[in-house]
Amino acid sequence: MAIKIEKKIKGYQVVKPEDKAPAAAAPAPVKEAAPVAEVIQMHESLERPETLVGNTYKIKSPLFEHALYVTINDIVLNAGTQHEQRRPFELFINSKNMDHFQWIVALTRILSAVFRKGGDVTFIVEELKAVFDPRGGYFKAGGVYMPSIVAEIGAVIEQHMKSIGLIHDPDMDEATKRLIAEKRAAYEKSTAKPAPAATAAPAPVGAGSPASSSTEADSHTNASGFPAGATLCAKCNTQALVLMDGCQTCLNCGYSKCG
């Protein structure tokens, strides 16, 4: 069969019959599939169990007429294994005081949503503790200053997270403890008043002398057990900051403005 070539021939090549078989047997090139990113789920979707483990904390603030009760419920992950862990799952705040009902409900829902989202939820503690009340804060029992009621809710959440092992409070080393004890002893010695000379006969053993000395010692301390003239420490929020050797020093955490 004759084939008519209508285009101009630019080159030629002789093809033998034996060269056609290998060419026909050669497979057609297969295009490689484009790589697909593997989706990795960071955590599983958790449904609320019928029963949760929780704790309830009482907050009594001078800013509120009635006490607040904060309940934090935890979900137990990997129960019965060596990887068992408790994590906050939901939070409820109850009180007889209805003046702040709106923001209490809002805070309850937002915090519960953050807990259920998963991941590192410990950041919420510092966010809440940094909230200040424009009317001023108050001192808790023990001399710890709270800038607002929201900050105390943050402190309660921090206390709960420490109890379940989600936050680890760094322990003070022995050297720091000894240094603080030495500073406190030196301060109390420098501020102690000399005992008046005894003019009466000594009281018999078991009389009121020890009790009176104890009362006198208690009058030189504040509610937190530190010297009565101590001011608020900016680091630990405790009334334990005293002036020693011309430098403000905290007798609770060892903080010093002079370094």
pLDDT one-digit tens code per residue, 193-225: 665 555 555 555 544 444 444 444 445 666 667
Is the pLDDT at 179 greater than 80? The verdict is no
pLDDT > 70: percent of the chain:
72
| Pairing of β 239-244 and β 145-146 | unpaired
Phi, psi (degrees; rounded to nearest 5) at 97: -75, 120
| Closest listed residue to residue 183, CA positions, set 226, 125, 120, 132 | 226
Considering only 7-11, 152-156, 165-169, 204-208, which range has the smallest mean pLDDT? 204-208
User: What pLDDT score does 47 carry?
Assistant: 79
User: What pLDDT score does 135 carry?
Assistant: 85
Copy the structure tokens of residue 39: 């989706």
Top pLDDT among 258 and 168 is at: 168
User: What pLDDT score does 55 carry?
Assistant: 94
State the Cα–Cα distance between residues 78 and 110, nearest whole angstrom.
Answer: 26
In the block, residue with structure tokens 């009121």 = 208
Residue 239 and residue 253 in contact, taking contact as beta carbons nearer than 8 Å: no
User: What pLDDT score does 70 carry?
Assistant: 95
User: What pLDDT score does 38 carry?
Assistant: 55
State pTM to two decimals. Answer: 0.57
Average pLDDT, the chain: 77
Copy the structure tokens of residue 207: 């009389």
Instruction: Return the exposure string of 162-178: e unless at least 16 CB atoms fall within 10 Å of the residue's CB, then b.
Output: eebebeeeeeeeeeeee
Copy the structure tokens of residue 95: 């009180």
State the Cα–Cα distance between residues 232 and 90, nearest whole angstrom.
Answer: 34
pLDDT > 90: percent of the chain:
24
Once rounded to an integer, what is the mean pLDDT over residues 32-51? 63
Is the pLDDT at 138 greater than 50? The verdict is yes
Once rounded to an integer, what is the mean pLDDT over residues 124-131? 93
User: What pLDDT score does 26 carry?
Assistant: 57
Q: Tell me the pLDDT tens digit for each residue of 228-251.
A: 777 777 777 677 777 777 777 887
